[in-house]
Structure 1
C-alpha cells in the first residue's frame, strides 16, 4: 500500500514538473548585428539578443555545426546547461561559450519575478540562415 502511494506521489510530481516546464513562455530572439568577416572568407559574426520574461525559457536546441558562440548575460540571471553538464546560473556580467555542435539542453531565466537578457555572438558560416534548431528535429 505504501509503495503504491509513493509511486502515485512520484508520478504526480513528475507530471507537474513536466507541465510547468512546457508552460514557460519562450524568449524573444532578435538579431542585432550581422556582418561578414572580411579577413575570414565565408564566415560572419552575428549578434543575437535573447530576452526572457519572468520564468521564460527556450526549448532545448542546437546551433549550426559551423558556429562558435560567446554569450554574455546583460541583465538578470540565466540558467544554462550545455552537453548535459550540470545546470549553472550565470548572473549579469557573466559569460560562457558553446563549441560547434553543442546541445543546449537548458536556457532559461533563473527568476520567476524579474526579466533576463543575454547577448550571444555567433561566428558562423555566412550562408547559414537557421541559427537554432529544436532538439528532436
Structure 2
C-alpha cells in the first residue's frame, strides 16, 4: 500500500512539473524548481517554478489552474504584473505578490529593456490539477 502511494505521488509530481514547465512564456524560460505533495493536506501539492525573462521579455496573458493559489517572489530585476482588474505594478528583487485561484494574469513581464529579471512562482494546487498555466486567446 505504501509503495502504491509513493508511486502515485511520484506520477502526480511528474505531471505537475511537466505542466509547470510548459507555461507559455514566448520571451522567457520556465524551469521546474520543486514539487511535492503536502502530506498534512491530502490532495494538495506545492509546486515551484523559476520564470526568467530576458530584457523586455514577457508572458502572454494567462490564467492558472482553478485550484492554484500562487505566491510569486522576485529573485532579481524588476517584474511588472497585473492580476485581474488591479492596477499594474512593478515589483523589484525581494518583493512578492500573490494570485488567488481563478485569477487572470493580464501582465507578466520584465520591466527593464536592458537587464534580465527572474521570479519564483510557488503554487499550492490540487494534486494532478493540470495544466498549471493556460494562455488566454
Q: Give the structure-1-normalised TM-score.
A: 0.80
Structure 1 residue runs of 4 or more that deviate by more than 6 Å after TM superposition: none
CA distance in 2, matches of 1:97, 1:112: 24
CA distance in 2, matches of 1:86, 1:126: 31
8 Å contact 1:51–1:116 — kept in the other structure? yes
CA distance in 2, matches of 1:79, 1:120: 14
8 Å contact 1:83–1:105 — kept in the other structure? yes
CA distance in 1, matches of 2:75, 2:120: 7
8 Å contact 2:65–2:130 — kept in the other structure? no
Please provide the CA RMSD for this pair.
1.2
8 Å contact 1:25–1:53 — kept in the other structure? no
Are 2:79 and 1:78 aligned? yes
CA distance in 1, matches of 2:45, 2:79: 26
Change (3 A) 1:80 1:105: same
What secondary structure sits across from 2:87 in the alignment? coil
Please, which runs of 5 or more residues in structure 2 have no aligned partner? 1-24
Q: How many residues align?
A: 113
Summarize deviations over 1:60-99 as a string: whole Å, max 9, x none.
0000110000010000000000002211000000000000
Q: Give the structure-2-normalised TM-score.
A: 0.80
Q: Which protein has the larger Cα radius of gyration, Structure 1 or Structure 2?
A: 1
